[in-house]
Structure 1
Amino acid sequence: MAGPTRRPGFLREAELRLLRCTLPSPPSSSPPTASPPPAHPLGAAAASVLAAVEAGDYEAALAAAAPHLLPSSASSGPPGSAAEFYADLAAATRAFLLGVGDGGAAGEGFECRCVVVFSAAVAALLAFTQQNLTGPPREFPTFPFWTSSLDEGCYSNLGDIWDAWASDKLASFGSHVHGKFPHLQFIVFAELLLTSLHSLSDCWSVSWWLFRISMFQQNILDELSSSLYDQVQVYKNKMLDHFCELEKVSTYWDSLLCDGEGSYFVSAAFLEAGIAEYKYGRVDASRLHLDSAQEACGLHLSLTGILGFRTIHQVDAKSQMVLVAKTNKSGSDERQTSEPTLAQNDNAALKTARSSVPVESDEFCDILRTPRLVHEGSNSASENTTGSSANISLSAMQQAAVLAQCLHVSRRSRSDEMSGWEMAPYIESIDSQGESYFVVRSLCDILRVRWESTRSRTKQRALLMMENLVEDVGKEFPVAAQRVKMVFGVHMPTLPALRKEYGELLISCGIVGEALDIFKDLELWDNLIYCYRLLGKVADAVSLINARLSVTPNDPRLWCSLGDVTNNDDHYKKALEVSNNKSARAMRSLARSAYNRNDFHTSKILWESALSLNSLVPDGWFAYGTAAWKDKDLDKAVDAFSRAVQIDPKNGEAWNNIACLHMIRGKSQAAVQAFREAVKFKRNSWEIWENYSKVALDTGNVRLTLEAVKTVLNLSSNKRFNVDILDKVMTLLEEQPPHFVDTHEASDDANKETRQSNQLLDIIGDILQQIVRSGGSNADVWGLYARWHKTKGNLLACSEASLKQVRSLQGSGLWHDQKKFTKYAQASLQLCKVYMEISSSSGSKRELLTAEMHLKSTLKQSADFSDTEEYKALDNCFEEIKNLIAATA
């Protein structure tokens, strides 16, 4: 339905007020005052619902709105199934919005009805957020539409059944809700109401709230969902189309905006879009959105080094990486407090609770939470344009942008010890802020815990910090209305996800029993099985899962977990049965099982089915490509590995497999490009570098070939080298001897080619010398070394290397093996020719006598091979040398 064009009215003001609930307070010194409600009979009800949402009383808001939305059948008798009831509820909501007999889709009545529906949807979403993300926990009704007019007896036994239905509805194809989330009907209810408003062309913020719901839905699932990704992109693009420019925002709300408030919405839109792209692993798209968000909120970030101290007992100052924040305005321009003014005592209580976390003076840790910088001891004040972020008061939006940039840094960099230190300046900059909203401070602490838990010296502090974080969510203060500020502008984990991280941290510290209780309460069966295995109680895990299956026999997650612990494919097949063939996890497990049985064709088919349900599984695409490769289906293998690197561009193994498949198919140029990506992420794999050298040679890139060969040599401690590749490169260089070029008369191109040839000769010489010095040389290497010396014009060194090649080929089986004799004869012939060249250039007779003696002995011992071409060549050379000796006598 499309509302008529109108100037900003009650609905548009309601949109603004609802968005303000999740954004920082307006920058003006006096808070905005709400306009009086419309004179329409629904005006007072709409205003009360809206005011309840702003006050954080979401239960009251839902109770006030529900009577206007419930279908007539809700109070006439026992409801049918959840699906039927919510379908009736959707129809009743649409009828309510149409307002048949009450002005229809026009006038104040229409605006009031839209505000009731809109406010109820936001109340349901924020109630779900309070219960599962921000806290403090509250006893909400089981049903989001509950009012006192409904008969409790009809609904008393439906809560668990309808929550299970909501879980199935929220679960995308192939994905499941990850953990135990209460009140799942609330988010279904919110999506239903907002969808009924989505067709309003003059209500821009609906797409923003639908985007938020879709992202929340993704965050509670156990894996990324391709269908949800498409939905998120649709809503994100609509949101950015409306709120990407300050001019559009200012025109839309006009006089309703406070001074400077418009930039909040632009910054928040880009920030949330960047977090969404980060969630789906799209690093480049995320970076663009985050850059736009920083620009909109007047923030420029850079890193620098400043002398400082990292530990309590450190004597000398060392360079510390520090975040430098430059702002377009001073921090006082955007006044916001971490908690409401009326709750300063509660805020003090919260800070007291946080002070139990070990800090610098704690006996357990001597590592400073933020480095003590040398310049901090000076009396000079730092200006915003030059000082570090520790000296600048950042606004709430700017703090959220810093944390989002921190997450982006963690995703774009490699996963090693250094990645934590690259994130540290961003974490420490927020730690240094005097005032922060609850979710901003909480995410900062979570990022610190993730970093410090990887270091032995700070792991205990990280454990205590995580324990406090979990406890803070359950405390009464700050209140819900303050905790929801910026909740969508930071990538805060849900409460079950936070408790899961806590459990995993406990396991890493050896506290398995406590972690076991956490996973059991969250119904995280896979983690529970892992704990039982650590304790050597696999049978207890089986008994627990069977007990749960007796209660919920149609839960595919339980059947998959039972299959994991028993290695029985029948349980995976049962999971497919109860899920109507929609359990991607069960299909993936069956595909792995078939692969392990060497049934590669079946595995490939099962992977195709699993990935058709959910395609955002990089490990799945990799496994599919491997199965297709084993099944000789090279085209599908290339496609699968290509999809894997599209989802995870840092998958070096997938890049390597793509390159190898291109090698097999004879596409050397494509293989080189794939190997170039592979070695970025697998630099220490000599196997990849060795393959890289082969395809580089096929494409004629000699320099790249030699660089790859040298890397293989270094990575393998001088034990791996490909003589065939070196031989081919040497042959190419021998065909274009650089030292014959007259650089004074040759053209510039010839000079350039000469320099390049000389450089390549030097590189291959370094490689051969490295092999020889390591003691790992063989006859082939000595032969190449001799050829290199000859190309460089050093005949004496060439003769020495050739002699060592001949000696390397000598052995007990030489005179009885034609292949060995052939190689020996060829090496001997080359040695004698070098001796002849030395004698010719120096006039010395000694080299000829040495060659004669060597050939005489060789011909005598190789009489059995007198009919071979190699023997005849040696004999001819022997005669030639005798003639030369006679000529010089």
Structure 2
Amino acid sequence: MNMAEREIEILRGHELRLLRCTLCQPPSDPSSHLQPSGFAASVPPLHALISDFLTSVESGNYLGALSSDAARLVLASPDSDLSSHSPDRVYSDLLDRVGSFINEPSIDDAEKACRVVLVVCVAVAALFWFIQCNLTGPVNGLPKRPLPMKAWWEGSEMVEWESWARNQLMAAGSDLLGKFCYLQYIVFAKMLLLKTRDLLFEASFMSTFKIRSISWWLFRALLIHQQILDERSSSLFELLQVFKGETLGHFGSFEKVTSYWGAQLQDGEASTIVSMVHLEAGVLEYIYGRLDPCRLDLESAEVAAGLQLSVTGILGLRTVHQVEPKAQMILVANTSSKSVSGDINTSIAPDTQLTGPNVSEASDIYMTPKLVENGNGFGKNECGGVVSTLTTVQQAVVLAQCLLIEKSSPHGEMQGWDMAPYIEAIDSQKSSYFILKCFCNILRIRWESTRSRTKQRALEMMDNLVESIHKPSPGVPLRLPFCFSVYIPTIPALRKQYGDILVSCGLIGEALKIFEDLELWDNLIYCYSKLEKKAAAVELIKEQLSRRPNDPKLW
């Protein structure tokens, strides 16, 4: 292996480690990463800095990574006083600094490629921090680190800078969906990734080193941007389609993934990556209501995951008091032996409870039907024997079918019953990742909140789900995997759904607190109207207008 090939292998390893943060739980031993022999003695020091940076990211310490020596090579110097300048100037200077850092004339192509990977890692760490704060949690006790380019500095909220970041995001053509925090981090991540990609187009070393994963990270950053908007953005859609095409072109097949990473891939990892790419593409098409492309992407994900899904009828009991079994819609998931044996340790222990110990007792309807065979029961309130043990990527593929059902069938009670076999199939699994269990519970809550016999259980499940966002367990790195592959609502959107369920259950006082905290003024006014307290609503809006006269939502 010559020196260039060695550099390429090491860079690919960095890319794969970063990607694995969204694929599986982090390694228990950071030293377990396989590096080429003689790694420490034969590579530039920057590789060691990147490796340490990735170790912090893998452990969920995103601010620690952004405060590291590796990040400071890219970001502002510790002595710079950023608060004395406008955000526009600071970010403009930052992008100039990134350009100079990558294209320094005195370094060779291998060093430039290494610096590109470092910048991508810094951008992705900022994106992960934003996702933790606004999507996955935990959110209790978050440190006040408002500036992503100076993440080691603790300061105030810097309202002007957050307003600037909000305006940058709203330039896509829509207001934000609720109240978000640390908006600068996603703006920072997008700017760094877009700047780096532009520099790569002009770079001579791209033909040798490639660094293809940057397209995927840009796709993901833009997808999160769209998720926090109140409406669909046409300008974001055009960019997302470009990066979707690039990502599928790079990683959309087993052969492309294996040719890029080769022997560094674990058993079954290539098919997981291919399936995840198609799942994320399907989420994009779901958001924009494009049914046919969504179906094609999800079918490709299903094939890559080694799944063949079908729904059948089996006799079973749906309620506690039911005596005569009736036909129940059940999911049959046929899996290839290769895909099952090729799991890459993507399950966690089943002790992560999101529903609470007594939630199933809140209704006389079973969480999953109790099936019977030849008149004899089998399986304790679960779909035993029909859905085999699924890998995590297969569970994500099963849940994604619910998105397709939502777009292709009329809204109503029957839509929930069409989704039920897929929801119950995941509920019958012994273990699931945090984010997949959250998504499964959200789908069940939406379904059961429309039925009088299960509405109370839906309310309890939602209460536990919102509470889980604040709890420290599971840890940060266990919440991240598959967060791009399912359409999980942001924390403000989830709390809004909680408020809507509270209103439907008559708990308007509790809903008022949520809507006021989220600054959802229309919902707040509706609640006051239900309580026949319109005067209180008027006073509240006047008070908010006196504080923020330029907020268009208040007018």
TM over 0.5: yes
The 5 Å alignment of 1:553-702 reads 553-559=549-555
CA drift at 1:51: 1.4
Bigger helix fraction: 1
SS in 1 for 2:330: strand
SS in 2 for 1:490: coil
Q: Which amino acid aligns with 2:370?
A: R
CA drift at 1:174: 3.5
What is the TM-score normalised by the length of structure 1? 0.57
Q: Which amino acid aligns with 1:298?
A: G
CA drift at 1:248: 1.0
Q: Name the residue aligned to 1:844.
A: none
Q: Name the residue aligned to 2:135.
A: 133
8 Å contact 1:266–1:293 — kept in the other structure? Answer: yes
Q: Name the residue aligned to 2:184.
A: 185
Q: Name the residue aligned to 1:528.
A: 524
The 5 Å alignment of 1:787-826 reads none
Q: Which amino acid aligns with 1:127?
A: W
Q: Deviations over 1:23-46 (max 9, x none)?
A: 13699xx96534545632323322
8 Å contact 1:59–1:127 — kept in the other structure? Answer: yes
Match of 2:287 among 279, 283, 296: 279
Q: Which ranges of structure 2 fall in alignment gaps of 5 or more residues?
A: 201-205
How far apart, CA to CA, are the structure 1 residues paired with 2:26 and 2:333? 22
Match of 2:427 among 421, 424, 431: 431
SS in 1 for 2:332: strand
CA drift at 1:333: 3.9
Q: Which amino acid aligns with 2:191?
A: L
8 Å contact 1:452–1:462 — kept in the other structure? Answer: yes
Q: 1:235/1:77 Cα in 2 relative to 1: closer, same or farther (>3 Å)?
A: closer
How far apart, CA to CA, are the structure 2 residues paired with 1:324 and 1:23? 25
How far apart, CA to CA, are the structure 2 residues paired with 1:197 and 1:378? 63
Q: Name the residue aligned to 1:224.
A: 232
RMSD, aligned α-carbons: 2.5
Q: Name the residue aligned to 1:543.
A: 539
Q: Deviations over 1:358-412 (max 9, x none)?
A: 21xx2x411011000103986999xxxxx97754001100100011011111210
Q: Aligned pair 1:56/2:60, yes or no?
A: yes
Match of 1:144 among 148, 166, 169: 148
Q: Name the residue aligned to 1:288.
A: 296
SS in 1 for 2:333: strand
Q: Name the residue aligned to 1:366.
A: 364
Which of the pair has more CA radius of gyration?
1
Q: 1:448/1:510 Cα in 2 relative to 1: closer, same or farther (>3 Å)?
A: same
SS in 1 for 2:117: helix
Q: 1:240/1:377 Cα in 2 relative to 1: closer, same or farther (>3 Å)?
A: farther
Q: Which amino acid aligns with 2:519?
A: E
SS in 1 for 2:150: coil
How far apart, CA to CA, are the structure 1 residues paired with 2:196 and 2:173? 29
How far apart, CA to CA, are the structure 2 residues paired with 1:247 and 1:26? 26
SS in 1 for 2:67: helix
Q: Name the residue aligned to 2:203.
A: none
Q: Name the residue aligned to 2:44.
A: 40
Q: Aligned pair 1:81/2:86, yes or no?
A: yes
Q: Deviations over 1:49-79 (max 9, x none)?
A: 1211112111111111442123469715753
Aligned length: 530
Q: Aligned pair 1:300/2:301, yes or no?
A: no
CA drift at 1:332: 4.7
Q: 1:509/1:146 Cα in 2 relative to 1: closer, same or farther (>3 Å)?
A: same
Q: Aligned pair 1:504/2:495, yes or no?
A: no
Match of 1:68 among 69, 73, 77: 73
Q: Which amino acid aligns with 1:84?
A: R
Q: Deviations over 1:664-714 (max 9, x none)?
A: xxxxxxxxxxxxxxxxxxxxxxxxxxxxxxxxxxxxxxxxxxxxxxxxxxx
Q: Which amino acid aligns with 1:97?
A: I
How far apart, CA to CA, are the structure 2 residues paired with 1:73 and 1:553? 36
8 Å contact 2:123–2:189 — kept in the other structure? Answer: yes
SS in 2 for 1:467: helix
CA drift at 1:535: 1.7
Q: 1:34/1:58 Cα in 2 relative to 1: closer, same or farther (>3 Å)?
A: farther
Q: Aligned pair 1:117/2:119, yes or no?
A: yes
**Structure with higher RCO (Cα < 8 A, 6+ apart):** 2
SS in 1 for 2:313: strand
CA drift at 1:553: 2.2
Q: Name the residue aligned to 2:355.
A: 354
What is the TM-score normalised by the length of structure 2? 0.90
Q: Name the residue aligned to 1:466.
A: 462
CA drift at 1:277: 0.2
How far apart, CA to CA, are the structure 2 residues paired with 1:116 and 1:305? 53
Q: Which amino acid aligns with 1:259?
A: D
8 Å contact 1:220–1:494 — kept in the other structure? Answer: yes
How far apart, CA to CA, are the structure 1 residues paired with 2:88 and 2:82? 16
How far apart, CA to CA, are the structure 1 residues paired with 2:535 and 2:134? 32
How far apart, CA to CA, are the structure 2 residues paired with 1:303 and 1:475? 36
The 5 Å alignment of 1:409-420 reads 409-420=405-416
CA drift at 1:257: 1.3
Q: Aligned pair 1:16/2:16, yes or no?
A: yes
The 5 Å alignment of 1:192-271 reads 192-199=191-198, 200=200, 201=206, 202-271=210-279
8 Å contact 1:172–1:225 — kept in the other structure? Answer: no
Match of 1:311 among 319, 324, 327: 319
CA drift at 1:48: 1.3
How far apart, CA to CA, are the structure 2 residues paired with 1:297 and 1:203? 25
Q: Name the residue aligned to 1:163.
A: 162
Q: Which amino acid aligns with 1:136?
A: P
Q: 1:52/1:73 Cα in 2 relative to 1: closer, same or farther (>3 Å)?
A: closer
How far apart, CA to CA, are the structure 1 residues paired with 2:151 and 2:504? 47
How far apart, CA to CA, are the structure 2 residues paired with 1:402 and 1:486? 13
CA drift at 1:505: 0.2
Q: 1:394/1:76 Cα in 2 relative to 1: closer, same or farther (>3 Å)?
A: closer
Q: Which amino acid aligns with 2:318?
A: R
CA drift at 1:305: 0.4
Q: Name the residue aligned to 2:343.
A: 334
8 Å contact 2:267–2:344 — kept in the other structure? Answer: no
CA drift at 1:284: 0.8
How far apart, CA to CA, are the structure 2 residues paired with 1:66 and 1:306? 57
Q: 1:242/1:500 Cα in 2 relative to 1: closer, same or farther (>3 Å)?
A: same
Identity over aligned pairs, percent: 48
SS in 2 for 1:373: strand
8 Å contact 1:178–1:524 — kept in the other structure? Answer: no
Q: Name the residue aligned to 1:491.
A: 487
Q: Aligned pair 1:97/2:102, yes or no?
A: yes
Q: 1:120/1:302 Cα in 2 relative to 1: closer, same or farther (>3 Å)?
A: same
8 Å contact 1:500–1:519 — kept in the other structure? Answer: yes
Q: Which amino acid aligns with 1:10?
A: I
